Amino acid sequence: MNNILTRYGILLAFALLIVSVGVANVQARVIVYEKEKFYSVRGETGVQIFLNLLKSSTKVSNSNHAIASTEIKFDIKNIKGLASRRNCKVSNVDVIVSLVYTYPKWRGYNRAGLKAKKNWDKFMREVRKHERKHGRIAVDAAHKIERGFKRGRGKVAKKCSDWGQSITRKVGPLIARHHKRQVQFDKREHNRYSRVTRSIIALIKSK
């Protein structure tokens, strides 16, 4: 059961600094965009639904038979630089997090019995909760990335040429930690006692 639950995908669009020296009276931001997509699942009994989930889930992922997924994309935009007498630093950066959640949609829901509907609804609540947690982890990482950009420093004496390296040293480990958190979260969720697993088992037993 562990390899058929949910997954996340990460697409990183990471822009190095293009220095724009001057005073910028703006505020750094984390901007979040969210979207939901669905793929069709058919079947009347829990077993039929589950088998169709496995077959149809290739539309979500080509690996691990993902039932649902969260695609995460980070974009860095609107970078503004500020130079003092000695240092170059970021005065503004927008970190944009795009989250695309993909879920199954059961086409036989309206014709199903009350028990099957109840188990499907519980299953979907747990799946949505799982994927939304992936999204919250990503947004938390975006705030840390934004702060990492603002902590970067370059030297005016070097014409700010060392600025990008400073940013990379601070932001690179944050991205690595974000990935580790996502993997650790999935490991906790992909065990036989998790709420998601129990909801799948209940769905399979539906008549």
Interhelix angle 195-204/46-56, rounded to 10 degrees, is 120
| Full residue range of the structural domain in which residue 41 is found | 2-204
Q: Which amino acid is at 142?
A: A
Mean pLDDT of 154-180: 82
Say yes or no to pLDDT of 25 above 50.
no
Predicted confidence (pLDDT) per residue in 112-162, tens digit: 888 889 999 999 999 999 999 999 999 999 999 998 888 878 787 777 777
At a CB cut-off of 8 Å and minimum separation 6, what does 79 contact? Answer: 15, 17, 18, 20, 90, 92, 93, 149
First to last CA, the chain: 20
Q: How many domains does the chain have?
A: 1
Mean pLDDT of 151-175: 80
Are 93 and 150 within 8 A, CB to CB? yes
**pLDDT of res. 20:** 40
At a CB cut-off of 8 Å and minimum separation 6, what does 180 contact? Answer: none
**pLDDT of res. 79:** 82
**pLDDT of res. 125:** 95
Predicted confidence (pLDDT) per residue in 65-94, tens digit: 578 999 999 998 888 877 777 888 878 889
| CA 25/CA 155 separation, integer angstroms | 21
C-alpha distances out from residue 56 to 13, 16, 135, 201, Å: 29, 39, 23, 18
